[in-house]
Structure 1
Amino acid sequence: MSSDAARGSGWADKSEELPLVDLATYWRLALKYRFLIIGCFLGALVVGATLTLLMTPIYTAQATLQIDREAARVLDSEDVAPRENMMQGEEFFQTQYGLLRSRSLAERVIESLGLASSNAALEAMGIEAPEAGGTAASQAARRKAAALDALQANLSVSPVRGSRLVAVGYDNPNPVVAARIANGFAENFIQSNLDRKFESSAYARQFLEERIAQTKERLESAERQLVAYAANNQIINVGEPSEGAAAGGATESLTSNNLVALNSALARTRAERVAAEERWRSARTTELMTLPEVLQNPSIQRLTEQRAVLDAEYQQKLSIYQPDYPEMVRLRAQIEEAEGQIQTIAGNIRSSIRSQYEIAASQERSLQAQVNGLTGDVLDLRDRSIQYNILQRELDTTRTLYEGLLQRYKEVGVTGGVTANNISIVDLATPPDSPSKPNLLLNMVFAALLGLGLGGLAALVLEALDETLATPDDVEKKLGIAVLGVVPLLEKGETTASALSDIRSGFSEAYYSLRTALQFSTPDGAPSSLLVSSARPAEGKSTTAYAVALNLARVGKRVLLVDGDLRNPSMHRVVGVENERGMSNLLSGSADLAGVVQHTRQENLFFIPCGPLPPNPAELWGGDRLRQFLTETRNNFDHVIVDGPPVLGFADAPMLAAAVSGVLFVLESRGTRRGQARGALRRIQVGRANLLGAVLTKFSAKSTSYGGYDYAYDYHYGAEPEAKGGKKGKRG
């Protein structure tokens, strides 16, 4: 796997699943920089307490006002005064608060209380008097400006939530002065409101007088024009205007009333004619005796019953007498007489239906002719009434406006002298007994919060500037590569050989864990050829290479350990063999593989030392013999572990990384900086090397106790107390 693969789907998924705010990370950061944060916290408390004690006490006096909602208007007239809703009410109160804070009210308070009358008055308010010089007018202006700035800066307007009360407060070192100025604001605010009302009423009277005079002239002119036009055009309207006509501004004429009545009669007659015509059409095309009118006629029904009785009697006697018998002849004559009467009455009924139709048609024609005649008269009258209606509407509008102005003028005259105010004083300000500023408790809280904020900010800045890689999380977050193993720092006096020889030691357990991680690093298990390198010397890469090879050999694998550092070899001293012949001979072609491989004390572990130091190590690694060597060892060994040179400053490691199956990158905890590690990783990845992951060596759980690494990477689980160097108990 490459470094991208190491950060592949699994690592990407993990990063995506992390919460946006990792509280554990911030807690570890706070523990790491706890002394800095505590120092900032205590320093801020000391500074806050000192500044609070050095501040001049400030007294706040408050006067309470009640402001009732009342829109500014001349009269409470529904046709012009807008209905007050919640939004307008809020606008009204905000306007009142703005008036309380206005410059004009502050100037009025200065004038009424004489606050800028002299330098002594300014000093009594705690205001520094302006420098002397200039004319008396300029000095007065400077004093007024200084007093105005002080009043606006120290004034507070605090509405009481859910009520119409407003607290007007003033801050001053002198409590008596504070109460005097607060009361001055309240009283002058009420007086200024009354003055505005009086000025508004006076302006309204003058304005209404002018408008009434103009409207009266317009009303008289409109009346004269209307009368003259009606006389010239012979327009006479009678009665009150109807609802529809009133909308148009005209009354109904006699001709219009007649037309409406005739038109209604015509509609009724037309409906009767249509019904009569339908009955006549049905009577004309239907059999006479089947007409509903015939069947429902009482005379027809009575004659039909008589004929039926006579027919029954005739048929009864026909069985006894001959048809020419006098009785039979009499019955037959009666039957025919009844039949004739029925036909006569039925014919009369049909004639009656036709007569009704003809009468209805005649009435319709007569009414239609009258309606047509009146329609022309009405249309002619309306043509002559268009201008009349225009003049009538203008007259009505002017009269309504004139009456409204008169009524409004009367109301203004009645209410002009009334001085009722919607603002009143609820409580006058009194000199306070205790200062309101500074508030020691509040200032200490602010100082504490500021100290904690500064401490936290400093911790974040230091953490952002921290280039060290101290923990596995640092490696994964700052470098983006997986950590395959964490090797603890050896205790004082403990050697690498003794730690590795003790299979129950934490040092050995760490490399066992690394061996397990390597077995899962590729689909085929641990890579067949592995380069162990680091960014700089003395980071533990040789120890790591030896430990990995040793642990693979202990599980029965044939492992070849190669000292690939042709510039500063040290692995032969760790293994305990001579460095007469080795990789330099093999790569230069002066020896073969069998001639340089040496046995070690560990079964299945073989070793090739560096050999004589060559003058050109990079050229030896760059030749074809390296790939031939790896191909040949693949047939004889399960794994080849190469202890490579450091990456930075040399070209050997990138060439080795490109040739082997995997690269294991060694980082020293708190020794390797992020910039060094990134530079080394970039060089390794130039040749598209398969970076398996990193190993963090010399990790001190005690010095990195924030975050729980001392627990997570404790490899002494299950060991005896003596084996752990005197540690008590076990860790689960």
Structure 2
Amino acid sequence: MEIDMHGDGFAGPRSGGPQRQGNEGGDLSALRSQGAAVEENGFDIGRYIGILLRHRFLIGGAIVAALIIGLAATLLMTPIYTAKATIQIDRETQQVLGNGTEAAPRDNLVNGVEFFETQYGLLRSRSLAERVADSMGLANSNDFITRMGGEAPSVEEGNAAERTAQRRRRVVGLLRANLSVAPVRGSRLVTISFNSPDPQLAAQVANAFAENFIQASLERKFESSSYVREFLEQQIAQTKAKLEETERTLVEYASGQQIINITEPGAEGGGGQSLAANNLVAINSALADARAARVAAEEKWRQARSAPLMSIPDVLQNTSIQRLSEQRSQLDAEYQQKLAVYQPDYPEMVQLRSRIDELEGQINALATSIRDSIRAQFEIASNQERSLQAQVNGLTGDVLDLRDRSIQYNILQRELDTSRTLYDGLLQRYKEVGVTGGVTTNNISVIDMAMPPGAPSKPDMTINLLMALLLGIGLGVAAALVIEMLDESIATPDDVERKLGLPVLGIVPLLTKGETALTALNDIRSGFSEAYYSLRTALQFSTPDGAPPVMLVTSSRPGEGKSTTAYAVALNLARIGKRVLLADGDLRNPSMHRLIGIENSQGMSSLLSGGATLPQVVRKTSHENLFFISCGPLPPNPAELWGGERLRETLHHALQEFDHIVIDGPPVLGFADAPLLAATVGSTLFVLESRNTRRAQAKGAMKRLSMVHGQVLGVVLTKFNATATPYGGYDYAYDYTYGADPDVPTTDKKPK
């Protein structure tokens, strides 16, 4: 069916010619670099959730397999029983003091950690394991190794001594491998655990470790005390010999020098004052007393000599003189009384006077004798002082001479005192070590003895299954991520943006079973039709001037739905009142004429080769405003037709009559047709089939288009199965098939 085009030209221009935009806003390398930047920046949790959902069956299978293996392994494992003994380790032992009291141990926060870590290390030491093996006789036979599930040494392995040594090494190795030491937090308690397939054996070995650890600790203490005692005994013997030798030397020297020292009662050691010094001290003390007595006697005599006789204090204080003076006073009174009656020469008066005179003579005689005695005392004190002074002078010389002779004696005496002090100190320390070595309490005690466990501690079904679950999840996720990294297919819009760096303009779902592309496009309520409505909207916003006037629709390979997409884009533009020309640009394998139902006698090949004009090849379709140019006869070399100037002229003339030209181009890979068309048209819509197009194919196509500076508007992802590939947190099948029966199965129908 031909339409009248008013000769070779159109009535008037409707828009400009083909817009070749080159690199303006459409450079493919920039798009790819931008997409790579989007892929590298940040952590897209939605993407990884999508990966996990896509591979949920693989992850579920890994989890189930891991759980089955974990369950089987747990059931096949030999049950292991763990017996636990609890001991208490104090920081220091109590010390019994000399007064019988006990000094409590004092903890040092700085050294406490080192002390307890040392104890834990001793519990895990090889020497303690060997001690346990010897105390229990475990190395005497292969019974312990067999009960522990180990391999006993064969009879052929060396001689008897070598087999015994090897058995002992294996026993010690099993003891250390199955022993665990765990301190109880916040206390001085330590739990000693031993694992064994035999619960009785586990309890016996755990108790043996606790008991042997205590015995080893006590033995170390006694060994340390024994060493100290031996050392002190040696030192005491040496000091005693030196002390005896020094004493003999001192005695011999004192005898030779006639040095006699007097030891004070209660004094320790052999020291003291010499006899001459002792005498000098005593006589010098007596001399001081004598000098004091002489001074007192001299002063008394001086007063008695110068004072009247009867005024001397000693005279006045004499009782005899006092009595005679009283008698004289009585006679004087009687004489004066009788003198009033008698004359002085009266015989009685003369007799009375003679008695008075006699008493006066007696008093004078006594007073004189008292004064003479005071002088005699002075003389005696002076003589005694002189005598003592002479003795002191003599003893002073003796003492000075003795001191000269006592220099070596004092040296020997000091050496003797030092040796005696050292000897006494060693004896005291030796006695203390002997006492404390027997009364020191042990700082390690058993709190709870190990009892045979009633249930095995290993394997733990819950823990093993939990570990298997985690392992299964890890392996499943790792496998999903590896598969995703190795997956070169492009299945989702995210894949397009991340792997190709291109925007997604539309997502076309799979057709339902038994539905054709034409039927779906004619049904405006179908998801298929709705997808292309969305694509038309996206194209209208793809450039500042709306949908491009000339568009090439291509794909990397045949069968991806580019012909259907080209027809749908043209149809939807025509439905909004645009005059659209749809051209079949695949001059090697045309299919658009069959989709529309128009004969293919002449078309683009005729127009480009000059065999026909534009009005002769344009055909009107059953849809209003939609016109079509078929492929026409297949040319021998389509690339030469696309590379000529006639294509630009044809597009220029067509745009004077039509608003949009949509070219259904050939695939990019394999031929030069699509790149030549993209370079001429300027705007290219790239079609990708979901899951069936490899990234390498798409990138190769993009590279060929970028080499000719083709502007790719974006990508249309066709045949997208939303039920198999959930995307963006919701199901695309729901959006594009509203009102449809969700139970209708889908089919991967590929419209031409």
TM-score normalised according to structure 1 size: 0.65
Whether 1:471 aligns to 2:487 is no
Whether 1:194 aligns to 2:242 is no
Residues 546/473 of structure 1: CA separation in 2 closer, same or farther (3 Å cut): same
Provide the C-alpha distance between the structure 1 equivalents of 2:131 and 2:541, rounded to a whole number of angstroms.
87
Residue 670 of structure 1 is matched in structure 2 by 691
Provide the C-alpha distance between the structure 1 equivalents of 2:732 and 2:700, rounded to a whole number of angstroms.
32
Whether 1:67 aligns to 2:89 is yes
- CA shift for structure 1 position 174: 1.8
Whether 1:37 aligns to 2:59 is yes
- CA shift for structure 1 position 441: 2.6
- CA shift for structure 1 position 492: 2.5
Residues 558/85 of structure 1: CA separation in 2 closer, same or farther (3 Å cut): farther
- CA shift for structure 1 position 41: 2.6
Provide the C-alpha distance between the structure 1 equivalents of 2:518 and 2:71, rounded to a whole number of angstroms.
60
Please tell me the root mean square deviation across aligned C-alpha atoms, in Å: 3.8
Provide the C-alpha distance between the structure 1 equivalents of 2:599 and 2:436, rounded to a whole number of angstroms.
122
Q: Deviations over 1:503-529 (max 9, x none)?
A: 333222211110110111111111122
Residue 452 of structure 1 is matched in structure 2 by 473
- CA shift for structure 1 position 716: 4.2
Residue 619 of structure 1 is matched in structure 2 by 640
- CA shift for structure 1 position 65: 1.0
Q: Deviations over 1:474-502 (max 9, x none)?
A: 32233222111111222222222222223
Is the Cα–Cα contact under 8 Å of residues 194 and 419 in structure 1 kept in the other structure? no
**2:663 aligned partner, one-letter code:** V
Residue 55 of structure 1 is matched in structure 2 by 77
Residue 266 of structure 1 is matched in structure 2 by none
- CA shift for structure 1 position 87: 5.2
Q: 1:154 aligns with which of 151, 157, 178?
A: 178
Residues 683/14 of structure 1: CA separation in 2 closer, same or farther (3 Å cut): closer
Residues 201/626 of structure 1: CA separation in 2 closer, same or farther (3 Å cut): farther
- CA shift for structure 1 position 413: 6.0
- CA shift for structure 1 position 131: 0.8
Residue 6 of structure 2 is matched in structure 1 by none
- CA shift for structure 1 position 658: 2.1
Residue 140 of structure 2 is matched in structure 1 by 117
Residue 351 of structure 2 is matched in structure 1 by none
Residue 175 of structure 1 is matched in structure 2 by 199
- CA shift for structure 1 position 419: 4.1
Residue 569 of structure 2 is matched in structure 1 by 548
Secondary structure at the counterpart of residue 695 of structure 1: strand
- CA shift for structure 1 position 708: 5.0
Q: Deviations over 1:190-222 (max 9, x none)?
A: 1222222333445556678999999xx9xxxxx
Whether 1:135 aligns to 2:159 is yes
Provide the C-alpha distance between the structure 2 equivalents of 1:127 and 1:475, rounded to a whole number of angstroms.
60
Whether 1:601 aligns to 2:622 is yes
**2:715 aligned partner, one-letter code:** A
- CA shift for structure 1 position 618: 1.7
Whether 1:90 aligns to 2:113 is yes
Secondary structure at the counterpart of residue 583 of structure 2: strand
Whether 1:489 aligns to 2:510 is yes
**1:153 aligned partner, one-letter code:** A
Residues 659/96 of structure 1: CA separation in 2 closer, same or farther (3 Å cut): farther
Is the Cα–Cα contact under 8 Å of residues 41 and 455 in structure 1 kept in the other structure? yes
In our comparison, the structure showing a higher alpha carbon Rg is 2
**Structure 1 residues without counterparts, runs of 5 or longer:** 76-82, 218-397, 728-732
**1:65 aligned partner, one-letter code:** I
Residues 613/71 of structure 1: CA separation in 2 closer, same or farther (3 Å cut): farther
Is the Cα–Cα contact under 8 Å of residues 39 and 498 in structure 2 kept in the other structure? no
Residue 144 of structure 1 is matched in structure 2 by 168
- CA shift for structure 1 position 664: 0.9
Residue 579 of structure 1 is matched in structure 2 by 600
Provide the C-alpha distance between the structure 1 equivalents of 2:50 and 2:668, rounded to a whole number of angstroms.
32
**1:159 aligned partner, one-letter code:** P
- Identify which range, 43-52 or 662-671, moves more after superposition: 43-52
Residue 504 of structure 1 is matched in structure 2 by 525
Secondary structure at the counterpart of residue 509 of structure 1: helix
Residue 682 of structure 1 is matched in structure 2 by 703
- CA shift for structure 1 position 679: 2.0
Q: Deviations over 1:33-75 (max 9, x none)?
A: 33333333333333222222222222211111111224999x9
Say how many residue pairs are matched: 533
Whether 1:657 aligns to 2:678 is yes
**1:44 aligned partner, one-letter code:** A
Provide the C-alpha distance between the structure 2 equivalents of 1:724 and 1:67, rounded to a whole number of angstroms.
74
Q: Deviations over 1:698-730 (max 9, x none)?
A: 22333335765534762344x5x6999899xxx
Provide the C-alpha distance between the structure 1 equivalents of 2:235 and 2:647, rounded to a whole number of angstroms.
112
- CA shift for structure 1 position 118: 2.1
- CA shift for structure 1 position 422: 1.8
Provide the C-alpha distance between the structure 1 equivalents of 2:651 and 2:231, rounded to a whole number of angstroms.
110
Provide the C-alpha distance between the structure 2 equivalents of 1:638 and 1:189, rounded to a whole number of angstroms.
100
**1:99 aligned partner, one-letter code:** L
Is the Cα–Cα contact under 8 Å of residues 201 and 412 in structure 1 kept in the other structure? yes
Provide the C-alpha distance between the structure 1 equivalents of 2:463 and 2:164, rounded to a whole number of angstroms.
40
Provide the C-alpha distance between the structure 1 equivalents of 2:724 and 2:495, rounded to a whole number of angstroms.
15
Is the Cα–Cα contact under 8 Å of residues 116 and 140 in structure 1 kept in the other structure? yes
Residues 656/204 of structure 1: CA separation in 2 closer, same or farther (3 Å cut): farther
Is the Cα–Cα contact under 8 Å of residues 486 and 697 in structure 1 kept in the other structure? yes
Residues 571/71 of structure 1: CA separation in 2 closer, same or farther (3 Å cut): farther
Is the Cα–Cα contact under 8 Å of residues 528 and 661 in structure 1 kept in the other structure? no
Is the Cα–Cα contact under 8 Å of residues 92 and 107 in structure 2 kept in the other structure? no
Is the Cα–Cα contact under 8 Å of residues 156 and 169 in structure 1 kept in the other structure? yes
Secondary structure at the counterpart of residue 636 of structure 1: coil
Residue 445 of structure 2 is matched in structure 1 by 424
Provide the C-alpha distance between the structure 1 equivalents of 2:159 and 2:38, rounded to a whole number of angstroms.
79
Provide the C-alpha distance between the structure 2 equivalents of 1:176 and 1:713, rounded to a whole number of angstroms.
67
Provide the C-alpha distance between the structure 1 equivalents of 2:742 and 2:176, rounded to a whole number of angstroms.
78
Residue 349 of structure 1 is matched in structure 2 by none
Q: Which has the higher contact order (CA 8 A, sep 6+)?
A: 2
Any residues of structure 2 matched to 1:118-517 within 5 Å, and which?
118-133=141-156, 134-203=158-227, 415-517=436-538
Residues 519/203 of structure 1: CA separation in 2 closer, same or farther (3 Å cut): farther
Provide the C-alpha distance between the structure 1 equivalents of 2:44 and 2:625, rounded to a whole number of angstroms.
50
Q: Deviations over 1:620-672 (max 9, x none)?
A: 22233333333443443322211110111111112222222211111112322
Residue 282 of structure 2 is matched in structure 1 by none
Percent identity (aligned): 63
Provide the C-alpha distance between the structure 2 equivalents of 1:574 and 1:126, rounded to a whole number of angstroms.
78
Provide the C-alpha distance between the structure 1 equivalents of 2:745 and 2:523, rounded to a whole number of angstroms.
16
Q: Deviations over 1:395-422 (max 9, x none)?
A: xxx99xx99x979888656544444322
- Identify which range, 480-489 or 101-110, moves more after superposition: 480-489
Secondary structure at the counterpart of residue 502 of structure 2: coil
Residues 122/497 of structure 1: CA separation in 2 closer, same or farther (3 Å cut): closer
Provide the C-alpha distance between the structure 2 equivalents of 1:722 and 1:169, rounded to a whole number of angstroms.
66
Q: Deviations over 1:157-182 (max 9, x none)?
A: 12212211111111112222111111
Residue 704 of structure 1 is matched in structure 2 by 725
Residues 640/200 of structure 1: CA separation in 2 closer, same or farther (3 Å cut): farther
Provide the C-alpha distance between the structure 2 equivalents of 1:597 and 1:28, rounded to a whole number of angstroms.
47
Secondary structure at the counterpart of residue 116 of structure 1: helix
Residue 374 of structure 2 is matched in structure 1 by none
Q: Deviations over 1:259-301 (max 9, x none)?
A: xxxxxxxxxxxxxxxxxxxxxxxxxxxxxxxxxxxxxxxxxxx
**2:116 aligned partner, one-letter code:** F
Residues 40/17 of structure 1: CA separation in 2 closer, same or farther (3 Å cut): closer
Residue 108 of structure 1 is matched in structure 2 by 131
Residues 91/118 of structure 1: CA separation in 2 closer, same or farther (3 Å cut): same
